[in-house]
Structure 1
Amino acid sequence: MIKSSLKMRCWIRQISALLAGVTVIAQLAHAQSGVTGTNIGAGVGATSDVLAIVREQNQQIRAGALKAQSVFGGPTTHDNGKNPATEAVLKAKTAVFISMSMPDRELSALLDEGRGRRDVVFFLRGLEGNNGRKTNEHIKAVTDFKNRLREGQPVVAVLPQAFARWGVTRVPVVMHESVIDHKWYRVDGAISIESATRDIDAGVKSRATGMTWPVSEQDLADVFRNRMQHYDWKAWQGRTAANMKRQMDLGTPLPLAQRDTRYTVDLSVTFPQDIRDQKGNLIIAKGTRYNPLAKSGLPGSAIVIIDPADERQIAIARIWMQRYPHGRLLVTHFDEEGLSTLVQQTGIKPMMLDKIIVKRFQLQAAPSLLTAENGLLVVQTFSPRVEGGM
């Protein structure tokens, strides 16, 4: 029953989306020099656009990194009073720099101290072996996550900018906001978070104590930057364009209408069970019959579907769109020359017909004219005639 209900709701969303004129079907751009323009994504002639987007993303990444580094502004001294957790974890009073290179016993002890505390945050420079899953599993193992699931967990964040700005290359390092002057001070090689924070609160500004281990993780910002720089964007653009063109070439072909026909389709659906929101309030009762046409009608009063490779159907589309100027125009597949002619003659950028529409609207042939009458979808097919088939 639940599976059936989900399917029913999916159908309703699909139908309602189409009738509201916001179907998830990419609009076709002017077909003049391959597949170009922003309406269709990465097309045959869109290399410069893709590279421009990549350059913009790189600039945004750099700007974000610089902004994050500015949070830790000032010289990289041990006691410049700046909070290394600013904007990362606003409520943190203690920041602990760690690495997966530390012995599990030492790492576990520190993480256990910060368990369930929102005033303590742990920083990693990157991911263990540049693998998020491996890092996550390692942290779960040393915190006995499986057996302590109901307890609060330590807050661990990847913040390479903090490591770079403060010159942290060996860990653990504890930075804490002193209760005396509310400035931040640093303890390297802290035996425990409690001892480090206690010393800072007692007036010890900065010191080194205990053993430290080298930070083994690569700077995550550098990892991303290197991947962006070495990724073969031209090959990616070529694959994307080829996939898009292949999808458009396939389209959803319909046979040519051999005779004029007219039939109706009831788009109503009946809910097999109650539909409720997260709070249990009834939204739609079991047995309710919903007809999207009765509520909103067809967008622009009509939907026109043609094969753009057929000049006669383009002529029919021109006449029908003059009769229904606010209607929707769909094509069965991509045809560069035909689409160019269609756009020139109608001034409309068509949408691509998909299998969902064909199935739900029970389409049989092209050209087809879809209108609404008495709450039913009226489908008319016409054997192509230059005069418009009307």
Structure 2
Amino acid sequence: MKKMSLAGPTRFSSRFLAVTILHLSFSSAWAGEDDFFLKEILKQQQPNMNRQLPDWLKTKPMHLNPSLEKLLKEGNKMMVQGGTSLEEDMNGKRSLAKAIQGRWIFVSFGMPTHELKAAAEEAAATKSILVFRGVEKDQNTGLITKKLLPIVKNMKPVPGAVIDPTLFTRFNVTAVPTMIETDAEGKTRSARGLPGFKWLSKQEPGDHGQRGPIYGILEPDMIEEIQRRAANIDWDKQKTTAIANFWKNQEEFNLRPAEKNKERSVDMTIVSTQDIFHPDGRLIIKKGDRINPQAMMPMRHAYIVFDATSQKQVAIAKKAGDEILKKGKPVIYLFSKIDKQRGWDNYNETGDFINGPLYKLNKSIVDRFKLEVLPTVIEGEGDHVVAKELASGEVH
């Protein structure tokens, strides 16, 4: 069968287009997916050397009351739409660049539970937002929801809540509860305690003083706390540790050594699970049609899979790769295991020896080519794919 060249202008037949669509639609790997394999391999190959957020900044996964979760999201969305943006003024202090309209009740877990519940009930009744300044010392952001949920879960509607130290700064909130309301003109009414928005809304703009019991703010300013904790993190050490531990966390594939040379054909056929239509509406492929993508999009690379902890297999992989390279076909080397104790040293030594691109084997390739023994060479030959299992003797 004549192979299609993509070097020059190409006429895309309806069947070729169908294969292309299937290529994008199916999650399983197949022979024409050299790029897919390489992307997956590269993605898994690179250690994450970016700075990682410490655990205290990560919200722990929780099963939330659906209405609470929804309102928490709406509360955060409202804050973003309101246009709050953090800036530095001439004195280096934080300020908000744009006026925002809304109702907020500033609270803290330093308040007695009954006072916090009263604030939440007021927020629920007036569709205002509970605002926390940050998280308690040495705690993570998930603590807010975890502690607030038992208080608000039976309220209808459930009040929205956010962590926003910038609002505390903007309105100079130094005690809780503090109620603040801004109108469309940017005029502000505020009071410490819980006099209620029904009363506050009828007052003239300005500060109406203390109208009930007030308490100190337990949580430190979130932004200042982030800066303080981040300053104490040794990022270079974190990066070094991440690199050192990279291989300890990698998946291995314990495939047994090949006992004899064996060649087997791999069925690359795809069965369409749905009708495929051309953009102009014409039916290209019917549900249930069988297609061999290798016949239309031949595999360009040869893949050599081996165990990097076995000197014999490394040598076989090297010899097999050299023979394929002489034919002008590019080779990708994949290792199923590596010496985790020696890690990068083993990886670099192996890469230098085979003198070619070296990557970790992934499950997509194991499953797609039904790998059971190593070393195995995978090549496209005409309209089919062949897997050659090599014993620890001569390479054929």
Distance 1:111 1:295, change over 3 A: farther
Distance 1:74 1:209, change over 3 A: farther
Distance 1:266 1:338, change over 3 A: same
The superposition leaves residues 290-320 of structure 1 with CA deviations (integer Å, 9 ceiling, x where unpaired) of 766567553x243222445333431321232
Q: Does 1:262 align with 2:263?
A: yes
Whole-angstrom CA distance in 2 between matches of 1:341 and 1:132: 44
Distance 1:337 1:157, change over 3 A: closer
Normalising by structure 2, what TM-score? Answer: 0.62
Q: Which amino acid aligns with 2:27?
A: R
Per the alignment, in what secondary structure is the counterpart of residue 198 of structure 1?
coil
Distance 1:95 1:354, change over 3 A: same
Whole-angstrom CA distance in 1 between matches of 2:294 and 2:332: 15
Superposition deviation, residue 191 in structure 1: 0.9
Match of 2:166 among 161, 166, 183: 161
Distance 1:350 1:154, change over 3 A: same
Distance 1:383 1:101, change over 3 A: closer
Superposition deviation, residue 168 in structure 1: 1.8
Whole-angstrom CA distance in 1 between matches of 2:322 and 2:249: 26
Match of 2:380 among 352, 366, 372: 372
Superposition deviation, residue 263 in structure 1: 0.6
Aligned ranges 1:378-389 → 2 under 5 Å = 378-383=386-391, 389=395
Per the alignment, in what secondary structure is the counterpart of residue 21 of structure 1?
helix
Distance 1:337 1:74, change over 3 A: closer
- Is the 8 Å Cα contact of residues 304 and 317 (structure 2) preserved in structure 1? no
Aligned length: 322
Which residues of structure 1 form unaligned runs of 5+? Answer: 1-11, 29-38, 43-48, 56-66, 76-81, 275-283
Match of 1:40 among 36, 43, 46: 46
Match of 1:111 among 116, 120, 133: 120
Whole-angstrom CA distance in 2 between matches of 1:54 and 1:140: 28
- Is the 8 Å Cα contact of residues 85 and 96 (structure 2) preserved in structure 1? no
Distance 1:176 1:295, change over 3 A: farther
Per the alignment, in what secondary structure is the counterpart of residue 305 of structure 1?
strand
Whole-angstrom CA distance in 2 between matches of 1:18 and 1:100: 56
- Is the 8 Å Cα contact of residues 27 and 352 (structure 1) preserved in structure 2? no
Give 2:198's aligned residue: 194
Per the alignment, in what secondary structure is the counterpart of residue 357 of structure 2?
coil
Whole-angstrom CA distance in 2 between matches of 1:311 and 1:296: 31
158-167 or 335-344: bigger deviation: 335-344
Give 1:123's aligned residue: 131
Superposition deviation, residue 337 in structure 1: 6.9
Per the alignment, in what secondary structure is the counterpart of residue 41 of structure 2?
coil
Normalising by structure 1, what TM-score? Answer: 0.63
Whole-angstrom CA distance in 2 between matches of 1:131 and 1:342: 43
- Is the 8 Å Cα contact of residues 367 and 383 (structure 1) preserved in structure 2? yes
Give 1:351's aligned residue: 359
Give 2:226's aligned residue: 224
Distance 1:134 1:344, change over 3 A: closer
Distance 1:252 1:142, change over 3 A: closer
Superposition deviation, residue 251 in structure 1: 4.1
Per the alignment, in what secondary structure is the counterpart of residue 218 of structure 2?
coil
The superposition leaves residues 264-300 of structure 1 with CA deviations (integer Å, 9 ceiling, x where unpaired) of 23355779999xxxxxxxxx999676766567553x2
Give 2:303's aligned residue: 303
Q: Which amino acid aligns with 1:70?
A: E
Whole-angstrom CA distance in 1 between matches of 2:328 and 2:43: 19
RMSD over equivalenced CA pairs, Å = 4.6
Q: Does 1:207 align with 2:205?
A: no
Per the alignment, in what secondary structure is the counterpart of residue 112 of structure 1?
helix
The superposition leaves residues 40-98 of structure 1 with CA deviations (integer Å, 9 ceiling, x where unpaired) of 326xxxxxx76xx479xxxxxxxxxxx95428x689xxxxxx979x5xxx974223322
Which residues of structure 2 form unaligned runs of 5+? Answer: 1-25, 54-83, 276-284
Q: Which amino acid aligns with 2:209?
A: A
- Is the 8 Å Cα contact of residues 83 and 184 (structure 1) preserved in structure 2? no
Per the alignment, in what secondary structure is the counterpart of residue 206 of structure 2?
coil
- Is the 8 Å Cα contact of residues 121 and 155 (structure 2) preserved in structure 1? no
Whole-angstrom CA distance in 2 between matches of 1:132 and 1:107: 18
Whole-angstrom CA distance in 2 between matches of 1:322 and 1:384: 22
Distance 1:24 1:214, change over 3 A: same
Q: Does 1:102 align with 2:105?
A: no
Whole-angstrom CA distance in 2 between matches of 1:92 and 1:121: 12
